[in-house]
């Protein structure tokens, strides 16, 4: 939304802004759109597969469900705290990391965020490609390419269409899941699955890690989709709208995934989409479910593509000292990031499940310290008293490199290494803990406490209040007079 010369607001479809501050005149929307967006982003096939992993990797049904719910609540709370920053700052999430890491230093976590976008986009494209191939009777490769083309279009249009798609996808997702759960309950003895209980600490914590990592991984971009809300929007309402949508959507999907994997056994891996649909649908109903699965992936994959543009623009603007991105550059970044994700999806579509499990668990080690530092600084030290213009100035208040933030981040990553259990790396203490991966717990607590102790004096150096670009412009004008 932009202001015309006559002072009236003109509604535009395609988004014009990237990483720059959103002025009050262009704010719009309500907190309910946050609920529908994150409900839609989680009512989808990848969340089903994530929940299924708890059983595929050795857990029982009952305790996997409990562990997944507990992880959802912890991880969902963390990501919603990030999302509540959006209306107050009017900025993409990773720009605010410059407060804690410096204008150049923020590049360190942002590069890892880009890897996350590519990985999640690729994994989502594999599953969406399976659904499209079944729907259109083409190969999985053609399905992936067709799905990618739709993602490019929606990402180019931007913020408004993302929320519109989220509202539509949330309705389609609810209808699809109600039907699938009904078929599951009618055609199978779920009580027998729940009665098989063999609690182990390692399997329980694995389930927690799967759902917590799923939610925490949204942290680096959740505020990107709340930053257009009016600045008067209640942070508490924003928090609960995001948390409710994310937790409800993900838990519903993962519960279904647990049941599906328990029923399928070895048949699940490699045929996730067709097995889920085949639980209780044929003919026209099956085609509608394939459509629902493909459409459900559009929301989250578009979020990943859109977020990748924000991240790349943040990296480049940090070194160039600007905050604008031309339409041509934005399109080039979208095509580049989505293209890489499509290539990875085509290359790895035959061995998706194992690689995806390793990917999301390993990434957790790099995002939990960043999340802990950002939240502690925003809510306990700086307390949202940001100097927004200085975020784009390497010679400004936040400098090029913030040694404190970078050092604590590195420590936060290193202290997790002994506790990581993944296909990429297994820490030396994992065997002593019966294979249990507790790295994400260590990665949240240690850097949060350490950063608070070391950086709390920085609170006295923060501005007295939030400084916005319009205030800076007025101050310069008064001085010049």
- Per-residue pLDDT 10s for the chain (481 aa) are 333 333 344 455 667 777 788 998 889 889 999 999 999 999 988 888 889 889 888 889 999 999 999 999 999 999 999 999 999 999 988 888 999 999 999 999 888 888 777 877 887 788 788 888 888 888 888 999 999 999 999 888 888 888 898 999 999 999 988 988 888 888 778 888 888 788 888 889 889 988 998 999 899 889 999 999 999 999 999 999 999 999 999 999 999 999 988 887 666 665 666 667 766 666 778 788 888 887 888 888 888 888 877 888 788 777 776 666 677 877 888 888 888 888 888 887 776 555 665 665 677 788 899 999 999 999 999 988 999 999 988 888 999 999 999 999 999 999 999 988 877 788 898 888 777 778 889 999 999 999 999 998 777 778 888 898 865 444 444 334 4
DSSP, residue by residue, 333-378 = HHHHHHHHHHHHHHHHGGGHHHHHHHHHHHHHHHHHHHHHHHHHII
The DSSP bridge partners found for residue 426 are 421
Task: Return the DSSP state at 3.
Answer: E
The DSSP bridge partners found for residue 467 are 387
pLDDT at residue 414, as a whole number? 95
For residues 448 and 372, is the Cβ–Cβ distance under 8 A? yes
Q: How far apart are alpha carbons 23 and 324 in whole angstroms?
A: 14
3-class secondary structure for 129-175?
HHHHHHHHCCCHHHHHHHHHHHHHHHHHHCHHHHHHHHHHHHHHHHH
pLDDT at residue 280, as a whole number? 60
Nearest partner of 176 among 244, 127, 249, judged by Cα: 249
Measured in degrees and rounded to the nearest 5, phi and psi for residue 324 equal -110, 150
Q: How far apart are alpha carbons 46 and 301 in whole angstroms?
A: 11
pLDDT at residue 357, as a whole number? 56
Task: Return the DSSP state at 381.
Answer: I
pLDDT at residue 67, as a whole number? 96
pLDDT at residue 10, as a whole number? 47
For residues 76 and 217, is the Cβ–Cβ distance under 8 A? no
With H, G, I as helix, E, B as strand and everything else as coil, classify residue 426: strand
pLDDT at residue 145, as a whole number? 92
Domains in the chain, ordered, with CATH?
2-367 (1.10.4160.10)
Q: How far apart are alpha carbons 58 and 199 in whole angstroms?
A: 11
150's tokens = 């739709």
10 Å CB burial of residue 481 (0-12, 13-18, 19+) is: exposed
For residues 86 and 225, is the Cβ–Cβ distance under 8 A? yes
Q: How far apart are alpha carbons 107 and 319 in whole angstroms?
A: 10
The DSSP bridge partners found for residue 240 are none
Which residues does 280 contact at the CB level (< 8 Å), separation at least 6?
Answer: 179, 180, 182, 183, 184, 186, 187
pLDDT at residue 75, as a whole number? 95
pLDDT at residue 11, as a whole number? 52
9's tokens = 């607001």
């Amino acid at each position: 939304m932009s202001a015309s010369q006559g002072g009236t607001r003109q509604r535009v479809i395609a988004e014009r802004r990237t990483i720059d501050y959103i002025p009050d005149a262009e704010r719009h929307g309500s907190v309910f759109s946050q609920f529908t967006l994150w409900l839609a982003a989680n009512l989808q096939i990848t969340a089903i597969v994530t929940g299924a992993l708890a059983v595929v990797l050795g857990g029982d049904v009952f305790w996997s469900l409990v562990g997944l719910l507990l992880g959802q609540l912890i991880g969902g709370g963390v990501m919603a705290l990030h999302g509540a920053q959006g209306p107050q700052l009017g900025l993409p999430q990773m720009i605010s990391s410059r407060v804690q890491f410096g204008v150049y230093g923020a590049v360190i976590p942002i590069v890892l965020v880009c890897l996350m976008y590519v990985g999640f986009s690729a994994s989502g494209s594999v599953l969406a490609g399976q659904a499209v191939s079944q729907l259109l009777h083409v190969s999985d490769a053609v399905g992936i390419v067709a799905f990618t083309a739709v993602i490019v279009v929606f990402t180019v249009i931007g913020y408004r269409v993302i929320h519109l798609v989220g509202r539509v996808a949330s309705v389609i997702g609810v209808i699809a899941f109600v039907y699938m759960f009904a078929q599951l309950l009618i055609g199978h003895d779920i009580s027998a699955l729940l009665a098989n209980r063999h609690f182990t600490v390692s399997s329980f914590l694995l389930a927690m890690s799967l759902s917590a990592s799923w939610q925490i991984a949204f942290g680096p971009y959740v505020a990107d989709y709340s930053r257009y809300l009016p600045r008067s929007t209640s942070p508490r309402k924003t928090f609960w709208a995001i948390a409710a949508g994310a937790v409800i959507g993900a838990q519903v999907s993962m519960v279904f995934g647990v049941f599906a994997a328990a029923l399928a056994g070895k048949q699940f891996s490699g045929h996730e989409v067709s097995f889920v649909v085949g639980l209780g649908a044929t003919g026209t109903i099956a085609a509608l479910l394939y459509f629902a699965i493909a459409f459900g992936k559009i929301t989250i994959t578009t979020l990943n593509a859109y977020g990748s543009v924000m991240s790349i623009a943040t990296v480049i603007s940090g070194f160039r000292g600007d905050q604008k991105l031309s339409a041509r550059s934005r399109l080039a970044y979208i095509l580049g990031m989505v293209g890489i994700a499509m290539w990875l999806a085509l290359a790895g579509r035959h061995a998706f499940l194992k690689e995806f499990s390793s990917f999301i668990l390993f990434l957790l080690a790099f995002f939990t310290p960043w999340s802990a530092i950002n939240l502690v600084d925003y809510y306990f030290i700086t307390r949202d008293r940001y100097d927004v213009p200085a975020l784009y100035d390497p010679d400004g208040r936040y400098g090029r490199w913030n040694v404190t933030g970078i050092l604590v981040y590195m420590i936060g990553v290193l202290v997790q290494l002994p506790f990581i259990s993944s296909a990429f790396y297994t820490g030396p203490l994992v065997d002593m803990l019966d294979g249990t991966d507790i790295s994400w717990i260590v990665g949240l607590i240690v850097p949060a406490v350490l950063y608070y102790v070391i950086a709390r004096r920085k609170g006295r150096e923060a501005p007295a209040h939030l400084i916005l670009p319009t205030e800076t412009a007025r101050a310069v004008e008064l001085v010049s007079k």
